[in-house]
Homo-oligomer: A and B are copies of this chain.
Amino acid sequence: MTRYLAHPFDDDKLKEECGVFGVIGVPDAANFVALGLHALQHRGQEAGGIVAYDEREGFNNARRFGYIRDNFTKADVMQMLPGSLAIGHVRYSTAGSKGHTAIRDVQPFFGEFSMGGAAIAHNGNLTNAAALRRDLIDRGAIFQSSSDSECIIHLMAHSIHKSLAERIKDALRAVEGAFSVIAMTRTKLIGVRDPLGVRPLVLGRIGEDGYVLSSETCALDIIGAEFVREIEPGEMVVIAKGQVASSRPFNPAKSRFCIFEHVYFSRPDSILGGRSVYETRRQIGVELARESPVEADLVCPVPDSGTPAAIGFAAESGIPYGMGIIRNQYMGRTFIEPTEQIRNMGVRLKLNVNRALIKDKRVILVDDSVVRGTTSRKIKDMILDAGAAEVHFRIASPPTAWPCFYGVDTPDRDKLLAATMSEDEMRDWIGVDSLKFISLDGLYRAAGEAKGRDASCPQYCDACFSGEYPVAPSDQIAKGFTMKAAE
A interface list, Cβ under 8 A from B: 1, 28, 31, 34-35, 38-39, 41-42, 45, 67-70, 73-78, 80, 104, 111-114, 134, 137-144, 153-154, 157-158, 218, 221-222, 267-269, 271, 276, 278-279, 282, 304, 307-308, 311, 315, 320-323, 326, 328-332, 335-339, 341-342, 345, 348-349, 352-357
Contacts and interface: CB of A to CB of B under 8 A. Distances in A.
Q: Count chain B CB atoms within 10 A of each CB in A267, A308, A322, A339 and give the residue with the most.
A: A339
A98 to B, nearest CB: 9
B349 A142 contact: no
20 contacts: A1-B76, A38-B330, A41-B329, A68-B330, A69-B330, A69-B331, A74-B339, A75-B339, A137-B157, A140-B157, A221-B355, A222-B352, A268-B354, A269-B326, A276-B354, A278-B323, A279-B357, A282-B322, A308-B323, A311-B323
B308 A39 contact: no
Contact of A141 (B39, B137, B140, B345): B140
Contacts of A154: 140, 142
Contacts of A38: 328, 330-331, 349
Contacts of A218: 326, 352
A311 B307 contact: no
B321 A69 contact: no
A163 to B, nearest CB: 15
A355 to B, nearest CB: 7
Contact of A326 (B77, B138, B268, B320): B268
A139 B45 CA distance: 36
B221 A352 contact: yes
A68 B330 CA distance: 9
Nearest to A335: B73
Contact of A342 (B31, B139, B336, B339): B31
A100 to B, nearest CB: 11
A66 B339 CA distance: 18
B35 A349 contact: yes
Given A28-B341, A141-B157, A77 B1 contact: yes
B141 A142 contact: yes
A112 B130 CA distance: 14
7 closest pairs, A vs B, by CB? Answer: A276-B356, A41-B330, A140-B158, A140-B157, A269-B326, A1-B76, A111-B142
A460 B278 CA distance: 40
A97 to B, nearest CB: 9
A142 B104 CA distance: 14
B341 A41 contact: no
Contacts of A80: 1
A143 B112 contact: yes
A91 to B, nearest CB: 14
B308 A73 contact: no
Contacts of A139: 140
Contacts of A153: 142
Contact of A142 (B1, B31, B112, B336): B112
Nearest to A133: B112
Given A73-B336, A140-B141, A278 B349 contact: no
B337 A74 contact: yes
Contact of A338 (B1, B74, B332, B337): B74
B352 A75 contact: no
Nearest to A155: B140
A364 to B, nearest CB: 15
A134 B113 CA distance: 9
Given A69-B335, A276-B357, 7 more contacts: A38-B349, A39-B352, A114-B138, A267-B352, A304-B329, A311-B321, A315-B320
Nearest to A338: B73
A278 B367 CA distance: 21
A353 B222 CA distance: 10
A279 B356 CA distance: 8
